[in-house]
Amino acid sequence: MMRALTFHGTHDVRVDTVDDPEIINPRDAIIRVTSTAICGSDLHLYDGVIPGVLPGDVLGHEFMGEVVETGPMSTLEKGQRVVVPFTISCGKCFHCSLQEFAACDNSNPAEKQDMSETMYGHAASGLFGYSHMTGGYSGGQAEYVRVPFSDVGPIVVPDHLDDDQVLFLSDILPTGWMAAENAQIQPDDTVAVWGCGPVGLFAIQSALAMGAAQVIAIDHYPHRLELARALGAKVVNFRESNVLEALMEMSGGIGVDAVIDAVGMEAHGFAMENILDVVKQKVGIGADRASALRQALMAVRKGGRVSVPGVYGGLADKFPLGALMEKGLQLRTGQTHVQRYMKDLLSRIEEGELDTTFLISHRLALEDAAEGYRNFKEQQDTWTKVVLKPGMVTATN
Ligand SMILES: NC(=O)c1ccc[n+]([C@@H]2O[C@H](COP(=O)([O-])OP(=O)(O)OC[C@H]3O[C@@H](n4cnc5c(N)ncnc54)[C@H](O)[C@@H]3O)[C@@H](O)[C@H]2O)c1
Ligand SMILES: [Zn+2]
Ligand SMILES: [Zn+2]
């Protein structure tokens, strides 16, 4: 038996004793988790706005650790230190062969796909710790985790880099990078990023690394905006300023060249349309609160580029389709094809080009994971990123 963070209902997660994972398929490996993080995507589960999460499900999709068991077809070896991508991908299907790893056709078992196929036209692929719509796989906020297709996903990391430096290769670093890549940044661009959570911060860092002339960060939390400023961004606090007016002024009256929505389906905001979204999401008649995305589509210049790493799960009201078409915008989005970026980003970390540790605000024992969720949700400003350490002794007992 082992300890793991399990879902019990909206705003109710607990560390329970559950069965140890076992090798099921020849390509599996079992990892002893040394570090695992809580993600903004986990908050969508915590807030009960993603369907298909059941009581007892083990959450967590950002994790790394030591290989302790391997199936006969795993290419990993016991004792290796690996970071595991949150996307589960077979490496062999049509999509994997195009490096569209987050669209893998083989990682979500057929009997679990129905709802996603109805909602999206095609079945979603497998993700760790992220609802039965994406396979119902047990996640990595646990002492041990089974990693399917372990010959494709995990990347072995060198010992001279510590966990904090490489953990975010599992999700948010590639997600920020792909967000900037999807914004197709040109050297003289002004890029605006909504949301200064971990994804937004890494998107800002990536956009600057790709040569953007000016990056403007939008949020309402002073500390998070300060982190963005420290990276080299200009900041707009949407509680204090009119975002659209500020962006027009900062882009010489043309509008920004590219926009990145790193907020997703639970946008905050005080405009009437967002308040209506909140009510609809609560009563279950409109899944997605798209106010940041609406604003981004208004702010981007004609012919500009729209990148959406923020997660949306269902339908959005009042989506400005007219702005998208009439302004001739390009839109790119998606769950991140993590495996496509891990190797390159690992070498950028090794060379010191990218810093991954600046946003970690709290390191807790796995036993204190519920407290981590509560604070990451309720004290967002200062709890920027929580890393859980299964080996650490709890502070509360
Ligand atoms: N595409 C992917 O593969 C992928 C991977 C990881 C995370 N995500 C998604 O990225 C999003 C961000 O993740 P995170 O971990 O940074 O989350 P987070 O919750 O820590 O950060 C979100 C930030 O957005 C800000 N915000 C809310 N409303 C806003 C508005 N109207 N305008 C500007 N800012 C606003 C919040 O104040 C907060 O700082 C989430 O939707 C998450 O699910 C996607
Ligand atoms: Zn994540
Ligand atoms: Zn595949």
Ligand 1 within 6 A of CB of 264: yes
Q: What is the pLDDT of residues 195-243, one digit of tens each?
A: 999 999 999 999 999 999 999 999 999 999 999 999 999 999 999 999 9
Is there an atom of ligand 1 within 6 Å of 126 CB? Answer: no
Compute the half-sphere exposure of residue 163: CA atoms within 13 Å on the CB side of its CA: 19
Can you read off the two tokens belonging to residue 26?
């020849």
Confidence of residue 316 (pLDDT cuts 50, 70, 90): confident
Residue 148 is classified by DSSP as T
Q: Which helix (H) or strand (E) holds 236?
A: strand 234-237
Q: 100-109, 114-123, 223-232: which range is least confident on average?
A: 114-123
Which residues are CB-neighbours of 301 under 8 A, at least 6 positions away? 251, 254, 255, 256, 257, 327
Q: How far apart are CA 328 and CA 202, in angstroms?
A: 27
388 touches ligand 1 (CB under 6 Å): no
What is the number of the ligand closest to the CA of 107? Answer: 3
Distance between CA 87 and CA 75 in Å, rounded? 18
pLDDT at 393: 85
Question: What pLDDT score does 380 carry?
Answer: 95
Q: Is 340 in the pocket of ligand 1 (CB under 6 A)?
A: no
> From the CA of 40, which ligand is nearest?
1
pLDDT band at 147 (very low <50, low <70, confident <90, very high): very high
Q: Greater confidence, 331 or 49?
A: 331
Q: Give 39 Cα–ligand 1 centroid separation in angstroms.
A: 9
Average pLDDT of 251-274?
Answer: 87
336 lines ligand 1 (CB under 6 A): yes
Cα–Cα distance for residue pair 74/382, rounded to 1 Å: 40
Whole-number Å distance, alpha carbon 388 to ligand 2 midpoint, is 13
pLDDT for 388 beyond 70 = yes
Rounded Cα gap, residues 200 and 39, in angstroms: 12
Ligand nearest to the CA of 125: 3
Under the banding of pLDDT at 50, 70 and 90, the label for residue 170 is: very high
Distance 306 CA to ligand 3 centre (A): 27
> Which residue in 216, 209, 218, 217 sits closest to 185, CA to CA?
209
Separation CA 302–CA 220 (nearest Å) = 27
- The answer, yes or no, to whether residue 271 has pLDDT greater than 80, is no
Q: Is the CB of 192 under 6 A from ligand 1?
A: no
Could you tell me if the CB of 308 is within 6 A of ligand 1? no
Q: Reply yes or no on whether the pLDDT at 381 is more than 80.
A: yes
Ligand closest to Cα of 90 equals 3
Give one DSSP letter per residue of 78-104, joined into a string: TT-EEEE-SEE--SSSHHHHTT-GGG-
**Three-class secondary structure of residue 35 per DSSP:** strand
pLDDT at site 370: 98
Q: What are phi and psi of 250, to 5 degrees?
A: -75, -10
Alpha-helical segments (H) within the chain: 40-46, 94-97, 114-120, 163-166, 172-182, 198-209, 222-231, 243-250, 272-283, 291-299, 321-326, 338-350, 369-378
Q: How confident is residue 272, by pLDDT bands cut at 50, 70 and 90?
A: low
Pocket test residue of 38, 39, 382 for ligand 1, highest count of atoms within 8 A of CB: 39
167: three-class secondary structure by DSSP: helix
Please report the domains of the chain, with CATH numbers, ordered by start residue: 2-171+336-389 (3.90.180.10), 175-333 (3.40.50.720)
Q: Look up the pTM and report it.
A: 0.96
**Does 109 score more than 90 pLDDT?**
no
- Of all protein residues, the one whose alpha carbon is nearest to atom 9 of ligand 1 is 310
| Residues with C-beta atoms within 5 A of ion ligand 2 | 39, 41, 62, 171
User: Tell me, what's the pLDDT at 273?
Assistant: 67
- Residue 204: φ, ψ to 5°: -65, -50
Which tokens go with 12?
């109710």
Going from the C-alpha of 153 to that of each of 88, 132, 147, 338, the distances in angstroms are 7, 20, 8, 9
